[in-house]
Structure 1
Amino acid sequence: MLINCKEMLEQSRGAIASFNCVDFEMARACLEAGEEARQPVIIGIAVRHWKALGGRLFIPSIRALCVEADIPAALHLDHAGPEDLDIIDEALDSGFSSVMIDASRKPFAANVEVTRGIVQRARLFNASVEAELGPLPGDEGVAGLVDTRGAVYTDPQEAGEFCAETGVDALAVAVGTAHGLYTAEPEIQQELISRIARETGVPLVLHGATGVPDEAIREAVRRGVKKINYFSGLLVDAMDVIRRERKSDDNDYLRHRSELREAWKRRAGNLIQLYSGHSS
């Protein structure tokens, strides 16, 4: 059942897992994990991957998975920049139920202006909007190594002003995470999450969850994080399966696809339980 992220986050007691997916099998695995856990799931398509894979061609099948899922599911466009407004329009026209506008590297006033325009556009489609304030280190969608030392954090007062002026449904914040794989365990600024949550009154989004310790995740959820993005670990799982299964005389492609799907499903299932607060 396809719904927008605003409805999903309002109904959730814990945090919702958002998995950026690069193909049908990855999306299928994550949704099956959600169905088994009886928890909602967000399937994200990063603009980087939309451009690389030809979004208009592969989106219909993934959207169909979300529509036919036996749980609430959202189809989310992730990290569209101010230069990607045409892709946002295509995504909304294609039936995405949520979009993210990331103008976090723009000055505050420009970020507000761009975001407000996307909010107005998305409302016409009953789609929710996520924005970002405070750019995260790392290269989104690549799973490279990243050092979080010297990171810039989101300012709580600015965050409050930003949400009031734009009307966004969710806000991605810089609180110690990064896109990619960490060179050292990240230090999540938990008190900062609480302060931002008090100032904004909107669901907060944690990007870069791969490698964040479970207890740090639980604490972040307690303090106001309602959506958690996960991607790099899915790529690591895929390459682990490929390296383990690779044999010169083995050409059973369909079996390898099944192995990949099962690995992603196990990972997604564990994370869904952790984020929602149902894990031990």
Structure 2
Amino acid sequence: MPLTPVSELIAAARPGGLGAFNVITLEHAEAIAAGAEAADRPAVLQISENTVAYHGSLAPLALACLRIAADSTAPLAVHLDHATSFALVRAAAELGIGSVMYDGSTAAYADNVAATAEIAAWCHARGVFVEAELGAVGGKDGAHTPGVRTDPAEAAEFVAATGVDALAVAVGSAHAMHERSAELDNELIGRLSVKVPVPLVLHGSSGVPDAGLHAAVQHGMTKINLATRLNIEATAAVRAVLGSDAALSDPRKYLRPARTAIQREVTHLLRVLRD
């Protein structure tokens, strides 16, 4: 089916949450699409700035994701995640990516507002959905920062000043967690959902147990970003195959099980977020 705008995916996912999954390889993209089809749920294929750096450019993987999403029977969108430069945002829009996240969270508040507002205005003139981040979610360098929290009043002020379409907030999760031990502040999520007039986004969701993800959606979280959990499952599948056959050299023999493992996890997570 045709690519679906993120705003429509959010509406289609309700009363559940919208699962958004990071793509690193072609196998990730294929698995996410297949997982969404199996769950009969909408989903987002996300490409991070770090993944762009890994591949050396955005276009090859982005174009593949756009085609996979367009060919899928599930409602899917492609999203640029954690972009820190206007140049990368422009490149994504020019390729046909209809949703971007500009991350100015490490800048001073006034600088974050100014840069985000400029990018949001540019993107909206081209029909591109814009997500932003206020404060630090934590864990970008492997450090868990449980004390970081987003203030609801400041978040509402930030959205009004920038005009963004969605906001990533700090409520107790951290990026790149391998243990599912994060405890989210659901009371804060509830207050943010009342105060902030745009969908809330949870980054670092891989460290949150299933029950915590479900509760977060019930308290007002809308878009749930997941990456590490997929990679853990894929890597375990690759290790199992290679560990059983030291002579194996055909990548298809170990990437196929990795793709299947990602697909299975995506389907499971989308069902967790369903309602």
Is TM > 0.5 for Structure 1 vs Structure 2? yes
Q: What are the superposed Cα offsets for residues 20-67 of structure 1, whole Å, 9 maximum, x if unpaired?
A: 011111111011111121111100000111122021222211110111
Alignment length, in residue pairs? Answer: 270
Identity %: 34
Q: Secondary structure at the match of 1:262?
A: helix
Aligned pairs (5 A) from 1:216-227: 216-227=212-223
CA contact (8 A) 1:147 1:184 kept: no
Aligned residue number for residue 60 of structure 2: 57
Quote how far apart the aligned CAs of 1:4 are: 2.1
TM-score by length of 2: 0.93
Aligned twin of 1:187: 183
Report deviation, 1:200: 0.8
Distance 2:40 2:241 in 1: 31
Aligned residue in 2 for 1:148 = 145
Question: Could you tell me which amino acid in structure 1 is paired with residue 29 of structure 2?
Answer: A
Question: Which of 133, 153, 158 does residue 154 from structure 2 map onto?
Answer: 158
Name 1:198's counterpart in structure 2: 194
Partner of 2:78: 75
Residue 252 of structure 1: CA displacement?
3.3
Report if aligned partners of 2:12, 2:42 keep a CA contact under 8 Å in 1. Answer: no
Quick one: which of 21, 24, 30 aligns to 1:22?
24
Between stretches 168-177 and 51-60, larger displacement belongs to 51-60
Partner Cα distance (2:105, 2:8) in 1: 24
TM-score (norm 1): 0.92
**Judging changes above 3 Å, is the alpha-carbon distance between structure 1 residues 148 and 185 closer, same or farther for their aligned structure 2 residues?**
farther
Residue 164 of structure 2: aligned partner: 168
SS at match of 1:226: strand
Gaps of 5+ in 1: none
Q: Distance in 2 between matches of 1:133 and 1:10?
A: 23
Q: Where does residue 273 of structure 2 map in the other structure?
A: 275
SS of 2:41's equivalent in the other structure is coil
Other-structure match for 1:107: 108
- Is the CA contact 1:129–1:168 (under 8 Å) kept in the aligned structure 2? yes
String of CA shifts for 1:109-164, please: whole Å, max 9, x gaps.
21111111111111132110000112111127xxx5x4334x21101000011111
Task: Give the Cα–Cα distance (whole angstroms) in 2 for the partners of residues 272 and 66 of structure 1.
Answer: 16
Q: Distance in 2 between matches of 1:36 and 1:12?
A: 15
| Matches of 1:164 and 1:184, distance apart in 2 | 34
Deviations for 1:227-251, whole angstroms, at most 9, x for unmatched residues?
A: 0000011121122112111122122
Unpaired runs of at least 5, structure 2: none
Report if aligned partners of 2:153, 2:195 keep a CA contact under 8 Å in 1: yes
After superposition, the CA RMSD in angstroms is: 1.5
Cα distance in 1 for partners of 2:128, 2:107 equals 24
The letter for the 2-side match of 1:262 is T
Deviation at 1:183, TM superposition (A): 6.0
d(CA) in 2 for partners of 1:253, 1:45: 23
Distance 2:180 2:207 in 1: 9
Q: Is 2:27 aligned against 1:48?
A: no
Partner in structure 2 of residue 177 of structure 1: 173
Identify which of 203, 209, 212 aligns with 1:213.
209
Secondary structure, in 3 states, of the residue corresponding to 2:273? helix
- 1:34 equivalent to 2:36? Answer yes
Mapped to 2, the partners of 1:100 and 1:184 lie a distance apart of: 25
Question: Distance between the aligned counterparts of 2:77 and 2:171, measured in 1?
Answer: 25
Quote the offset at 1:184 in angstroms: 7.3
- Whether the 8 Å CA contact 1:5–1:128 is kept in 2: the answer is yes
Alignment-mate amino acid for residue 125 of structure 1: R
The structural deviation recorded for 1:256 is 1.6
